[in-house]
Structure 1
Amino acid sequence: MRLVGWEERLAAVIDGARRKDFVWSAHDCCTFPADCVAALTGTDPMADIRGTYETARQALELINQEGGIADMVSARMPWAHQVSSLKAHRGDIVHLEQQGLDARLAVVYGTGCIAPEPHGLAFLPLPKGAVAWHVPFAS
């Protein structure tokens, strides 16, 4: 559930990540979205595995141990509703469906999504029909 003030916290996380270098287990395609989810909800879905991998291969092994990236997100965010990217809102997580080590998660922002790059963040088009996880709004 999104907490009061999530918009400002999300903007601060994104602003702070603009100049960060990509670092496995600290600022990567899973931890950056988890940082954004923590800004929205106060809960870090990757808290128990941060700092436990140092390479792309180790990250992929962890993802595969959890059944793949989609199963990993669904298990770590059981309160999030899986939706089409066309129904995703700012702050939701989207799966950019590339293969192997190119598969990654991004954060929906406006008409696009944001993902970490080697040096900073990339604003990418929001893929139509991709799987996204909606972080519910407070009632």
Structure 2
Amino acid sequence: MRLPNWQERFSDFGKARASMPFAWGSNDCCTFAAAAVEAITGKNPMSSVASYTTEIAAMRLVVAAAGLRALACEYLGSSVSPLMAGVGDVVLVENEGREMLAVCNGANVMAPSKLGMVALDMSAAKAAWRI
């Protein structure tokens, strides 16, 4: 359930992450999406996941879950069509041949990158999770 002031909290999340560079375990696609969910709901869906700091450790989580979509379903529930995604919802996108989680911000999705947050077109979305 979204908090009454979720729009303000989501805006603050975006401002805080705008220039934060990608980092495994603190600002990768999974932790980025989980932090957005926490901003909106007050609850981090990945709080039970052991911390990791390397790509290898992150990939172990994804492989153990049978893929990124399955991992997202494990923590966020069943996916829906990306056409149903609204602001603040988590989406699975493909970017440069690689799947990643991002967060819907209307016509775009936000995702972490080496230089900070980037916007990708919502047309790259393959699945979504309503928050």
Give the alignment's TM-score, normalised by structure 1: 0.86
Amino acid at match of 1:92: D
Maintained 8 Å contact 1:85/1:128: no
Q: Does 1:88 align with 2:88?
A: no
Shift of 1:77: 1.7
Amino acid at match of 1:66: A
Shift of 1:75: 1.3
Secondary structure at the residue paired with 1:105? strand
Amino acid at match of 1:93: V
Maintained 8 Å contact 2:25/2:53: yes
Structure showing the higher helix proportion among its residues: 2
Equivalent position to 1:110, from 106, 113, 129: 106
Shift of 1:128: 5.8
Shift of 1:98: 5.5
Secondary structure at the residue paired with 1:54? coil
Maintained 8 Å contact 1:86/1:128: no
> Gaps (5+ residues) in structure 1?
none
Amino acid at match of 2:53: E
Shift of 1:30: 0.6
**Cα distance in structure 2, aligned partners of 1:66 and 1:82:** 15
**Cα distance in structure 1, aligned partners of 2:22 and 2:7:** 24
Q: Does 1:127 align with 2:123?
A: yes
Secondary structure at the residue paired with 2:52? coil
Secondary structure at the residue paired with 1:107? strand
Amino acid at match of 1:54: T
Q: Taking every aligned residue pair, what percent have the same amino acid on both sides? A: 34
User: 5 Å matches for 1:63-82?
Assistant: 63-78=62-77, 81-82=78-79
Alignment RMSD (CA, Å): 1.8
**Cα distance in structure 2, aligned partners of 1:32 and 1:103:** 14
Q: Please name the residue that 1:38 is paired with.
A: 38
